[in-house]
Chain A
Amino acid sequence: MCRLAMKTANEPFSPYSILTAMEAMQEGYDGSGLGLLLRGLSFTDYKYNPEDPILSGIAHSEEALGRLHSMMNERGFVLKYDHEFDLDLSKIEAKDRYKYVLRVYKKPSAWDSLGKEEIEHELMMARLALRADGEAHGGDLTAFSLWPDVVMIKEVGWPLEVGEALGLQSGRIKSRVCMAQGRQNTNWGINLYACHPFFIQGVATMTNGENTAFIPIKDWLTGKGYPGYIGYQSDSEVFAHILHYVTKQLKLPLQAYKHVITPLKNNELAAHPQGTFLRGLRDVCRRLIIDGPNAVIGTLADETTILVMDAKKLRPATVGGKPGEWAIASEMCGVDAMIPDRDKSKDFQPMREHTIIIPPDRQELVIWSQFDQFPLNQAA
């Protein structure tokens, strides 16, 4: 079972601190992968404008890097900053890592006339084009994300070693939100795209446990024909896509995510103020009902953070912290390691009906229950 750690704080911190916290939970992963997602970025050697998209990925050869460069140029992206990691490749298992890409671009000027949604679509299409190009050339180019204020790093190996190999302990990169996952491989081959967190259009999730309802969910999402719903090297990728579908496509409030993946029972809906609407929602999103056992930690583009569980609650997750600084981890010792100086009596493990929401202001936790009124801005 994978181990998850996520910290969100008003003051930017180094992702290395999260990797050291992961050590507390090291019996729970097997070194088959580490994934990191950073939001709210600051670099010591570059003043970053949070509007600018950042490309994260790996070029496995010089030729692949050249292709990446020309593809971005063709699309009109202008390179503003190319982050050079302080690499120590001896600590990396894989031998085909030519360059870890972390590049800040200026958006193409042709996009000036586009609306927000169109720009988001174009960013996704550009990332997918890079990914497809890499796959067409024997997997020599891996693209994790292309999005403003988001950096993703994925590598096979033990979390702390990977962090040291990339020189993250130097503190050159800091962020207000950091998601980290140490992987216990329960899928198929070891694949970089199978490392959590999963990312699509600003929405990211990571998960422990295994998704037993993966195939029907994957079949449904794939059938939507939406270009971003591809991949599925891991059964957990669907959680990110469902969150994206609910919030970005259906444009429902964040609380609806829980109603889609773990709908209430008939008798509970009968007593719910919007039971009729929610029962209909359960029917139309029936294929997206998850069956666990999973805890899902997610972050949105505005630095909102969420934690939800499947209805059976057979996988652990705890949230704790203090105003301005919160941590969610799959194990309590993970929360301890990230924020030791908190009031532990206020730690919370969500029950089957809860969605834990940490808003961008990070002042207090919102523990939202499915039994509560549903914040829907329409006649439901």
Chain B
Amino acid sequence: MVSIRSIPSEPGSLSTNDLPWVIEHREDRCTLCGKCAAICPVNTLKLTYMRKRMPKLVLSSSERGSSYKTFVGIRQNTDPARRCIGCGSCAMVCPNEAIHPVHNETDRHRFVNTKGGQAPTRGGRRNVPGPNLLDQISFNRISMLTDPALDAGRHEFYMNTLLGRVLPPEEYLRRQAAGEWIPPVREIFPFIIGSMSFGALSPNMWLGLLQGVAYCNEVLGIPVVMATGEGGCPPWVLKSPFLKYIILQIASGYFGWDEIIRAIPEMQCDPAAIEIKYGQGAKPGDGGLLMWFKVSKLIARLRGVPEGVDLPSPPVHQTLYSIEESVMKMIQTMSMAWNFKVPVYPKISGSNSAKSVLNNLVRNPYASALMIDGIDGGTGAAYNISMDATGHPIASNLRECYLDLCAQGKQNEIPLFAAGGVGKNGNVTQNGMALIMLGASGVHMGKFIMQSAAGCLGSERNRCNVCNIGICPKGITSQNPKIYRRLDPDKVAERVAETFMAIQTEMKKVMAPLGRSQSLPIGMSDALGINDKAAAERLNIRYVC
């Protein structure tokens, strides 16, 4: 059978109705200004001339025909690589509200999104919309009559947490008396800006974050810290007094560490901590990835690499391939680099084996914490399969580790930090406090901060999620100055401050009804309830209905 070429129907052919986002355009409102087509980050929009035929019905049989008219309309590209990503930039710039993307449930493009044998990749996080488990947890131990609920507006609340190895009390007293080394401990706000590398984020974004964090610390008195992710830090930041708000990350690519090591003699202060990344929740078992689109001159300079090349970190490195190597070498090496005055801790992907890692850390005198990143964590670039299906949810993973520490009586010695989907649906404080009461000393949030502080458009319905190719319509994750100049660092800083002020107020509104104000309620699992019997049993909290 010979195919009929005149009908454009190949196996990979798509119509607009097969795409995840369909552009709705109202010709009657459109002024043909072209702003939508100009701003579209994926160039999916084309203004095209279209021809319209109007049959003319004339009663006299000698005259028949049609009248023809041309007009300018919008055409949507159906190539999966240039499909509409639903970011809505067109709607944002349209002077007449004539255009906007509409989510299409009958999305069929995912079946053919493998052109040239390329498995699909994106930024963002797991595409599972709707409430996650953390959203279902409620705080039930309300102080009623037997103990009074507190006044969130007037009481003083202590909400900070500790990052660093905390000695057992007996050992602390012994070392104090003997004048021996006491491990460094930082008192920080329990909501931490998660690791996002300065290569993944645009200069305006990380500058805005850093300004906001400094404002929170120095003006608002909220001791917020931010983690950099792999890829170093600009030398001027390393030599600035703002370094004390930064958690520097070292990972398998060692990117950016030449600059960091060179800057050590000139540092005015120590960093908040050093995070050794073994894995992340969004793509466990993968190294970091910065695609060539984003390796600009500045990033190449920071990382010590040529411009415009892909930078995939290996999943492991000679010095990072096993827990023994890690605790014996990396943690000690990093501690030594800063004279044992900076907490050093590993970050791992949520995994069934997290408890084994933890127990190795417990026996190392320098390990300062353990950070576990769950399956709902976000990332700048990963294969869809890694993001959607690989990893371990954070709640049960964290809970297991915490209860294991409790059984050993070491829950105050190694703080656990949790991440992966905190604030996924906007309930950042509720999610974070739930994790804290399950046993976390603090939580990291990356995607939420991008959404809250910089207006990131990404969602779990595969909206936007083009962080990987440097065309971020908001200028958050692009290294192209024409794009990132859209983002004003001062405005980001303002939003960072507003976000943390709001989180602080919400924390009080959670703690006050529980009658807690004197310390962060870490592990206060008696306050939690969930309307899911199986989850309640697994997390060892109360089932409520």
Binding site for B on A (CB under 8 A): 1, 184, 186, 209-210, 212-216, 219-220, 222-225, 245, 249-250, 252, 262, 265-266, 277, 280-281, 283-287, 289-293, 310-312, 314, 378-380
Contacts and interface: CB of A to CB of B under 8 A. Distances in A.
Interface stretch (B55-63, B162-170, B243-251): B162-170
A215 B525 contact: yes
A277 B146 contact: no
Contacts of B519: 213, 286, 289, 291
A284 B518 contact: no
The 10 A-B residue pairs whose C-beta atoms are closest, nearest first, are: A223-B409, A212-B515, A210-B147, A289-B519, A186-B146, A284-B172, A215-B526, A216-B523, A284-B169, A378-B177
Given A209-B147, A312-B150, A250 B524 contact: no
B411 A219 contact: yes
A212 B182 contact: no
B524 A284 contact: no
Contacts of A290: 518
Contacts of A292: 147, 515, 518
B515 A293 contact: yes
21 contacts: A184-B146, A210-B143, A210-B515, A212-B147, A219-B411, A219-B523, A222-B409, A223-B411, A225-B409, A250-B173, A252-B173, A265-B156, A281-B169, A286-B162, A290-B518, A291-B515, A291-B518, A292-B147, A310-B518, A311-B518, A314-B148
B127 interface: no
Given A220-B406, A284-B167, 19 more contacts: A212-B143, A215-B523, A216-B522, A245-B169, A249-B170, A250-B170, A252-B173, A262-B518, A280-B172, A281-B172, A284-B166, A287-B411, A287-B522, A291-B517, A292-B147, A293-B515, A312-B517, A312-B518, A314-B147
B122 interface: no
A224 B409 contact: yes
B522 A378 contact: no
Interface in B392-427: 405-412
A280 B182 CA distance: 9
Contacts of B514: 212
B158 interface: yes
A214 B146 CA distance: 14
Contacts of A380: 176-177
A290 B516 CA distance: 9
For A212, A287, A378, which residue has the most chain B Cβ atoms within 10 angstroms?
A212
B507 interface: no
A224 B187 CA distance: 24
A281 B176 CA distance: 10
Contacts of B409: 220, 222-225
Contacts of A186: 146-147
Contact of B176 (A213, A222, A289, A378): A378
For B156, B179, B515, which residue has the most chain A Cβ atoms within 10 angstroms?
B515
Interface string B494-529: 000000000000000000001111110111111000
Interface string B372-395: 000000000000000000000000
A293 B147 CA distance: 6
A262 B518 CA distance: 8
Given A210-B147, A380-B176, A287 B516 contact: no
Contact of B412 (A286, A378, A379): A286
A353 B156 CA distance: 15
A4 B27 CA distance: 81
Contacts of B411: 219-220, 223, 287
A155 to B, nearest CB: 22
Interface in B142-197: 143, 146-148, 150, 155-156, 158, 162, 166-170, 172-173, 176-177, 179, 182, 185, 187
Contacts of A312: 150, 155, 517-518
Contacts of A214: 526
A117 to B, nearest CB: 15
Contacts of A212: 141, 143, 147, 514-516
A229 to B, nearest CB: 10
B148 A293 contact: yes
A93 B439 CA distance: 42
Nearest to A311: B518
A379 B177 contact: yes
A286 B185 CA distance: 13
A292 B168 CA distance: 24
Contact of A213 (B156, B521, B525): B521
A290 B521 CA distance: 11
Contact of A223 (B177, B187, B406): B406
Contacts of A216: 521-524
Contacts of B158: 265
A286 B166 contact: yes
Nearest to A226: B409
B474 to A, nearest CB: 38
